[in-house]
Amino acid sequence: MPIFLAYETAVEAICYLRTREHDDTAWRKPSRKTSIYDAISTKRELRTLLAELDEYFLTHKGPMQDDIEEFDDLDDLFYLDELTDLREDEMDREDPQEVESRASILTRLTYPLHVLIPSAAKKNRTGTLVTHVWADEIPARSFIEIEPNVYLSTPAFTFLQMAGALMHTELIQLAMQFCGFYSPSPRFGRLDPALADKPLTELHHMMTSTGVVFEIDPVSSVQALHKFVERERGRRGAAQALAALEIARDHAASHMETALYLLLCLPVRLGGYGLPKPELNPKVVVVEASGSKTCYPDLYWRGASVDVEYNSDSEHCGPSAHYKDSKRMVAIVCNRITYLSITTKQLFRAGDLDNAARGVSRMLNHRIRYTDEKWRQKRTLLRAAVLPPAEEGLAS
C-alpha cells in the first residue's frame, strides 16, 4: 500500500531532499499517480511498508543491519529513534552519504507523519500518522514517487495544502523558498533545546523564515505555482494561495533577502512600506574597462536603476570580502545604477530600516503613505512574522 506525504511532512521532506549534499534533483519528476484510494492510514499499514522498504534497500542498495519488524508499537515514536540507533554503528564505519542512500526517507522524517487519505472513514490520528482527507479528484502531476510506494506531494501541491495552515506572510515566504536558491534545515531549529520536542505544526515560523543551505536550485517558480493553484480555484486554500502568489517573487538568494523584500514592499495596511516590487537577482550586464560583466543585484528596480543589496554581517567581513563588495559597488555605480547596502544589523533594527526605506522611496520617486502609531504597531507584528529569531545584540 502507498503512503502520500502531505502538509508539514511534505515541506520537511522537500527541505530534506534539497539540502542533501548529493541531491541530484532526480527526485523532482512528478509521477502519473492520481488516485489515493489505497492510501495508508494506520500504523500497522505503515509498519508493513517500512518492512517492505527495508527489504527493498537490502536488495537494491546493500546490506543493512536493522530490522523494522523489531518494533511492536510506533505510537510513541516522535522520531524513529530506535531505527536511527540501529544504524549508528554502520554510519561510524562507512561514508554517511552511502549509508543514507540505503535508508528510507521515512526514517528521517518527524513523527507523526502528515498524510493524505481519500475519505473520512479512514481518518486516524495517532503518534504515528495524522491523516488529512482529500476526497476530491487529485490534480494531475501532484505527487513524486521518491521511493517505492512513497509518494511526496509536489511543491505546488504542498503549497496549496499549506495555504489553509499558514499565515499570509508565512505562505509568501514558503512560495519564495520553493522558488528561491535557499532552504531551511529540515530540523527547523530543533537543535535549540527549547524547540527540540515541538511538533511540525508548531514550527511554521522556523519552517518559513529561516535558511541554512544556499546556492541550490529552486524546486518551482511563481508561474508554476500559480498555474497549479489556478486550476484548483475553488478548493480550500486556493484563494489564500493566489493572494500570496501576487506578492511572491522568484530567485531570492536567502531567507534574509525574502524578509527584506517583504518588509520594503508589502502594503502599508500589513505593516510594510508599500514600495514597488523589484526583481530579485536578475541578470544585469555592466561595462568595465576590461569589458562587459554580468551582475545579479539582490533587489533591483530596473526602471529607476536602483540596486538594494542585503549584505550579511557574517559573509561580508574581512579584507577579501570588503574588496569584492567594493569592486562590485564600483562596477554598478559606474554604470549609473544607484546602490544601497543594508546589513543584518540594519535589517534587525527597525529605525535603521525605516531610514533605508525612506531613502529607497526617494530614489524611486515613491511616497511612503504612513504616519500613525497604528502603522508602527503593524510594522512590529510584520517584523516578528518575517524575520528569523534575532541573535543577541542584533536588534539592540
Per-residue confidence in pLDDT tens, the chain, 396 aa: 999 999 999 999 999 999 987 777 788 999 999 899 999 999 999 999 999 999 888 877 543 333 333 333 444 343 344 444 444 444 444 455 554 556 899 999 999 999 999 999 888 877 899 999 998 889 889 999 999 999 999 999 999 999 999 999 999 999 999 999 999 999 999 988 888 889 999 999 999 999 999 999 999 999 999 999 999 999 989 999 999 999 999 999 999 999 999 999 999 999 999 999 999 999 998 877 677 888 899 999 999 999 999 998 655 444 454 445 555 666 676 778 899 999 999 999 999 999 999 999 999 999 988 778 999 999 999 999 999 998 655 665
pLDDT in tens, 230-259: 999 999 899 999 999 999 999 999 999 999
Together in a domain, 168 and 314: no
Cα–Cα distance for residue pair 150/126, rounded to 1 Å: 19
Task: Give CA separation, 201 vs 30, 78, 334, in Å.
Answer: 26, 13, 49
Q: What is the pTM of this model?
A: 0.87
Write the Ramachandran bin of 149: left for phi over 0, alpha for psi from -120 to 50, otherwise beta.
left
Whether residue 396 lies inside any domain: the answer is no
Whether residue 170 lies inside any domain: the answer is yes
Domain end position, chosen among 239, 262, 292: 239
- Please give the pLDDT value at position 315: 55
Together in a domain, 212 and 271: no
- Please give the pLDDT value at position 364: 96
Whether residue 391 lies inside any domain: the answer is no
Together in a domain, 127 and 259: no
Whether residue 245 lies inside any domain: the answer is no
Cell 536603476 belongs to which residue? 305
CA atoms within 13 A on the CB side of 304: 20
Together in a domain, 231 and 310: no
Contact 238, 163 (CB under 8 A): yes
Cα–Cα distance for residue pair 73/47, rounded to 1 Å: 9
The three grid cell numbers given for residue 354, joined into one nine-digit string: 525605516
Together in a domain, 218 and 307: no
- Please give the pLDDT value at position 127: 83
The three grid cell numbers given for residue 338, joined into one nine-digit string: 544607484
Task: Give 139-145's long-range contacts (Cβ < 8 A, gap of 24+).
Answer: 139/34, 139/228, 139/231, 139/232, 140/34, 141/30, 142/30, 142/33, 142/34, 143/4, 143/30, 143/31, 143/33, 144/27, 144/28, 144/29, 144/30, 144/31, 145/31, 145/33
- Please give the pLDDT value at position 363: 95
Domain with 220, as residue range(s), is 3-239
Whether residue 363 lies inside any domain: the answer is yes
Whether residue 266 lies inside any domain: the answer is yes
Task: Give 127-133's long-range contacts (Cβ < 8 A, gap of 24+).
Answer: 127/74, 127/75, 127/76, 127/77, 127/78, 128/43, 128/46, 128/74, 128/75, 128/77, 129/40, 129/41, 129/42, 129/43, 129/46, 130/7, 131/41, 132/6, 132/7, 132/161
pLDDT in tens, 4-57: 999 999 999 999 999 987 777 788 999 999 899 999 999 999 999 999 999 888
- Please give the pLDDT value at position 313: 62
Together in a domain, 256 and 233: no
Together in a domain, 286 and 332: yes
Write the Ramachandran bin of 25: left for phi over 0, alpha for psi from -120 to 50, otherwise beta.
left
Longest pairwise C-alpha distance within the chain = 72
How many domains is the chain partitioned into structurally? Answer: 2
Whether residue 201 lies inside any domain: the answer is yes
Whether residue 393 lies inside any domain: the answer is no
Cα–Cα distance for residue pair 7/273, rounded to 1 Å: 32
Together in a domain, 264 and 342: yes
Contact 308, 260 (CB under 8 A): yes
- Please give the pLDDT value at position 30: 93
Together in a domain, 215 and 317: no
Domain end position, chosen among 239, 263, 284: 239
The angle subtended at Cα 111 by Cα 106 and Cα 116, nearest 5°, is: 75
Amino acid at 179: C
Domain end position, chosen among 239, 273, 294: 239
Together in a domain, 185 and 224: yes
Together in a domain, 289 and 217: no
Together in a domain, 173 and 268: no
